Amino acid sequence: MVNVKKINIGDWIVIFICCLLILICLLPLLNILARSLSSTESLIRNEVTLWPKGFNFDAYYLVLTDNKYTWSLAWTAILTAICVVVSLVMTTICAYPLTYRKLKGRWFFSTFIIFTMYFSAGTIPMYLLLNDLKMLNKPVVLIIPYCLNVFYMIIMRSFLLQIPESLRESAEIDGAGPIRILFTIYLPLSTPVIATLCLFYAVGRWNGFSDALMFMNDRTYYPIQLLLYNIINSITNIEVTTQEGFAPPGLSETLKAATIMFATVPILLVYPWLQRYFITGVTLGAIKE
């Protein structure tokens, strides 16, 4: 006879807390979805909660037929893909050498890199540096300056340190060099951490707008989050909203909600594909050498 484990009071408390957290995360999204599908009159009368009132797709039609929105979404997707590839390459070539325990200056380089996590020059020196490098108002300014996250590098280094050194020593005996060992041993065994960092970098770039706000003036290369930021900031002023070309008068609130959904759903669709690596990747940073 199969023994069925009884659920005790502690399990019920955990289940209740999980359900509560799910509701806290889900309800705002449902509210935004309902607002994006409701009429402006219903929004003005505050009749919309979790179900649309005056159901219509006018806001979505405007978003999907306006080249400004569709290009911004496409550009953000391209930018995210480029940034993920560049960031993973930079993270790997920074973390991999630090796994060699006999590397001269290893402690110094590790300390110097970690130092940048806590201390930085600030926004103004960064702006002056990028101006001197002729990177302002160019797409590259959204890729290069923040292509390496030190915390993510530590996560990758911690994972690579878990791979037995005997594998590397065996490869070295067979005549393999560091580059070949990286591509034939370390990277094939690092799928979980690569997938996790891919998710972290993708979410960070997709949701980022402050760098474009400070360093980019060309509206052609505005990411979707900066476009959304401008819409929300302008939504209270019909004159400014109309001048910027965001919406015709009377559709502002519905358009704001539709644009939020438009900018949020694509990155949400990516998460389920990488979810199984997420918990493993989050706990890697706690492993010490």
Q: What is the percent of the chain with per-residue pLDDT over 70, rounded to a whole number?
A: 85
pLDDT at position 288 is: 46
Q: Which of 56, 73, 97 is the last residue in one of the domains?
A: 56
pLDDT at position 249 is: 45
Q: Give 32-39 contacts, CB < 8 A, sequence gap 24+.
A: 32/257, 32/260, 32/261, 32/264, 33/257, 33/261, 35/253, 35/254, 35/257, 36/60, 36/254, 36/257, 36/258, 36/260, 36/261, 38/254, 39/254
Residue 105 DSSP code: T
Asked whether 76 and 206 are in contact (CB, 8 A), the reply is: yes
pLDDT band at 200 (very low <50, low <70, confident <90, very high): confident
Asked whether 261 and 32 are in contact (CB, 8 A), the reply is: yes
Torsion angle defined by CA atoms of residues 65, 69, 74 and 77, in that order, rounded to the nearest 10 degrees: -140
Residue 20 belongs to domain spanning: 1-56
Count the alpha carbons within 13 Å of 286 in the hemisphere toward its beta carbon.
5
Structure-token pair, residue 254: 């519905």
**Tens-digit pLDDT profile for residues 125-180:** 888 988 898 888 889 999 998 889 999 999 899 888 888 888 888 888 888 888 89
Same domain? 3 vs 136: no
pLDDT, mean of residues 52-76: 83
Domain-embedded: residue 44: yes
Same domain? 143 vs 65: yes
Going by C-alpha positions, the residue among 262, 254, 260, 259 that lies closest to residue 44 is: 254
pLDDT at position 276 is: 65
pLDDT, mean of residues 93-105: 88
Same domain? 67 vs 18: no
Structure-token pair, residue 84: 């993920």
Same domain? 72 vs 31: no
pTM, two decimals, is 0.79
- The residue ranges of DSSP E strands in the chain, in sequence order, are none
pLDDT, mean of residues 74-91: 93
pLDDT band at 284 (very low <50, low <70, confident <90, very high): low
Same domain? 98 vs 206: yes
- The domain that holds 139 is classified in CATH as 1.10.3720.10
Mean pLDDT of the chain: 81
Same domain? 109 vs 229: yes
Same domain? 150 vs 9: no
pLDDT at position 235 is: 59
Same domain? 25 vs 86: no
Domain count, the chain: 2
At 36, phi and psi to the nearest 5? Answer: -70, -20
Q: Which of 18, 36, 56 is the last residue in one of the domains?
A: 56
Same domain? 15 vs 110: no
**Alpha carbons 130 and 142: distance in angstroms, whole number:** 11
Exposure string of 106-142, with b = 16+ CB inside 10 Å and e = fewer, is eeeebeebeeeeeeeeeeeebeeebeeeebbebbebb
Measure Cα distances from 216 to 130, 199, 231, 246 in Å.
11, 25, 17, 19
Q: What is the chain's alpha carbon radius of gyration, rounded to the nearest angstrom? A: 24
Same domain? 70 vs 112: yes
pLDDT, mean of residues 23-51: 83
User: Where is pLDDT greater, at 142 or 119?
Assistant: 142
Same domain? 34 vs 68: no
Same domain? 86 vs 183: yes
Contacts of 127 (CB under 8 A, 6+ apart): 136, 214, 215
Domain-embedded: residue 289: no
pLDDT, mean of residues 237-257: 56
pLDDT at position 20 is: 92
Domain-embedded: residue 119: yes
Residue type, 132: D
Structure-token pair, residue 165: 């050194």
Domain-embedded: residue 173: yes
**Tens-digit pLDDT profile for residues 5-23:** 667 787 888 889 989 998 8
